[in-house]
Amino acid sequence: MKIGMVLYPTFGGSGVVATELGKALASKGNQVHFITYSMPVRLDILAENVHYHEVKVVDYPLFEYAPYELALASKLVSVVKKERLDFLHVHYAIPHAYAAFMAKQILAAEGILVSVITTLHGTDITLVGRNPSYNPAVTFSINQSDLVTCVSESLKEETYEYFDVHKDIDVVPNFIDFDQYVDNKPCVRAGIAPNNESIITHVSNFRRLKRTEDVVHVFARILKEKPAKLLFVGDGPARIRTEPFIVGDIAKNEEDLQVNTHNSTLMILQDIFSKVIMSPGADVPYEIQTPIASITPFVEAYNNNLAGWTAIFDVQINSPFNTLLVRT
């Protein structure tokens, strides 16, 4: 099949899931076309059956905010026509589902039919999508999708609770490829921690709700107890706000890896994984699965929506890792 994969190309969970799904489909012989504004961080563009199409947004003085939805819809139309795609799989409702609907209508006017699958990932429903500024458009685009999936039962329930959605929603949980987390590069660790310091990793798209300042404060306390390195992986608007806190000994023991970093390798090298959730409606993040796959303890500031998961992790008494869950 020929599939269009529409996603955010960042370190956020929705983009990572979309990329890994596309790579898996490509490995089975499908032609997968990734359509977004920059190269997805987990994508190997040289892999067989993998294609990348960049969405270019015109910078024009009239627009205070560049109309990405229009540029994306136009690109979808172009790629569907040129590559003869069978369907579009859009990850994260805002604005991808709406842009896919516009593209579908444009193509239908030319006699070209293409199906749209929308996957809901979390904050596109629980946080951003519920905002009155977006709710009507999100509701409409979900209802206009040919198939709708989401990553958890709780997210499905919240979608029905907060949106007037009448489509059936199939729950397809996030997945992880354990084969990627095999430690076959022991020498790489020395490049980050030459004196065998403990490595604490934070991976995110650096939005405000990720609370990266708190990660820095916690790391400062760790440094008082033992030698350690803090590894920030990702990029986003909160990065600038976090930088003033990275001073003194923290600055000497902190490294930034912003883009095009092989995440599974970093997961293998780390000693502790830090992931912070603040939003009351945030779903269980994809990133929690990566330290588990790489047999790494993780520190999680969490709220009640993770309560059901703590029991699952805590019963794994014979596991070589333990989880430290910190209620905030």
Q: In what order do the strands lie in the sheet with 50-54?
A: 50-54, 31-36, 2-6, 87-91, 115-120, 147-150, 169-171
Measured CA to CA in angstroms, residue 164 lies from 27, 41, 48, 75 at distances of 37, 34, 41, 29
Domains of the chain: 2-171 (3.40.50.2000), 183-327 (3.40.50.2000)
pLDDT at 69: 94
pLDDT at 196: 79
pLDDT at 256: 53
Taking all residues of the chain, what is their mean pLDDT, rounded to a whole number? 76
* 268-319 residue pLDDT tens: 444 444 444 444 444 445 555 554 444 454 555 544 444 433 333 332 323 3
- Copy the structure tokens of residue 255: 């490294």
pLDDT at 287: 53
pLDDT at 130: 80
pLDDT at 127: 74
Q: What is the pLDDT along the chain (328 residues), one digit of tens a residue?
A: 999 999 998 877 788 889 999 999 999 999 999 999 999 988 888 889 999 999 999 888 888 888 999 999 999 999 999 999 999 999 999 999 999 999 999 999 999 999 999 999 887 887 777 888 899 999 999 999 999 999 889 899 999 999 999 999 999 988 776 676 565 555 566 777 788 788 777 777 777 767 778 878 877 888 888 888 887 777 777 777 777 767 777 677 665 544 444 454 444 444 444 444 444 444 445 555 554 444 454 555 544 444 433 333 332 323 333 333 333 3
SS (H, E, C) 206-230: CCHHHCHHHHHHHHHHHHHHCCEEE
Q: In what order do the strands lie in the sheet with 198-203?
A: 254-257, 228-233, 198-203, 272-276, 298-302, 324-327
pLDDT at 277: 42
Helices (H) and strands (E) in the chain, counts: 13, 13
Q: How far is 80 from 93, CA to CA, in rounded Å?
A: 19
Q: How far is 28 from 86, CA to CA, in rounded Å?
A: 16
Burial status of residue 146 (CB atoms within 10 A of its CB: 0-12, 13-18, 19 or more): middle
- Copy the structure tokens of residue 192: 């980050």
CB 184 within 8 A of CB 210: no
Contact partners, residue 308, CB within 8 Å, separation at least 6: none
pTM over 0.85: no
CB 105 within 8 A of CB 15: no
Placement of tokens 């579908």 in the chain: 104
* 237-248 residue pLDDT tens: 777 777 776 777
Instruction: Kindly report the length of the chain.
Output: 328
Phi then psi dihedrals of residue 108, to 5 deg: -60, -35
pLDDT at 185: 54
pLDDT at 184: 52
Helix, strand, or coil here: 307? helix
- Copy the structure tokens of residue 206: 């650096």
